[in-house]
Amino acid sequence: MSSRSWIDCFTTDHKLIGRAMAAAVAIAISCSPALAQPKHRLPSDYKWGRCLLVVSGQTRISGKCSYQIEAGGDFNIQGPRQVFAGIDYPDTHSGAGEMSQDYWADVYKDGDLWAGYANSDIRATHGEDHWEELRREGACYIGKDVKICLWR
C-alpha cells in the first residue's frame, strides 16, 4: 500500500468516525431530560381547558387556556402563555413582583349577579376592564362588549 492510499484511507475513516460521533451527540442531547423542551406547569389548583375572551370585538383568548374554579363558582381564565409566581419566576409575595405574559379574566358572583374584570394589555397584572351584570348562557358569561367562555 502506498503512503498516499494509506492517508486517503485514514482521512475517510476519520470523517466517518467524526460523523458517527456527531450523530451520537445529537441523539444524546435530544433525549436528555435536562435539555428537553419543558412542559408549561400550572399551579396545583389550575387545569387546562378551552376558553374564549372577546372584548369590544377583539378576541384576546381563543382555544387552549388554564383556569381555576373556586367553591362558589367564581373562576378565572389565563391565556396559554401566562406565567405563574413560584413556577415560572420567583414568588416575591408582593404585587410589585407579579408578572403577566398573556391575557386573563376573572368572573365572580356579585350578589345575585355575575361580574368580571380583565387585563387590557398582556403585561398588566391588574384588571383595567370591568363588567357588571354578566348573564350566563351555557359555558359563557356575556355582558356589554364582553364574552367570556370556559369549557373544561
pLDDT beyond 90 at 21: no
3-class SS at 122? Answer: coil
Contact 105, 77 (CB under 8 A): yes
Q: Provide the pLDDT confidence category of residue 34 given band limits of 50, 70 and 90.
A: very low
- pLDDT by residue (tens digit) across 44-54? 999 999 999 99
pTM (two decimals): 0.72
- pLDDT by residue (tens digit) across 102-135? 999 999 999 999 999 999 999 999 999 999 999 9
Of 69, 136, 59, 143, give the one whose Cα is nearest residue 106.
69
**H helix or E strand, kind and range, residue 7:** helix 3-31
| CA distances, 32 to each of 35, 46, 87, 112 (Å) | 5, 28, 21, 54
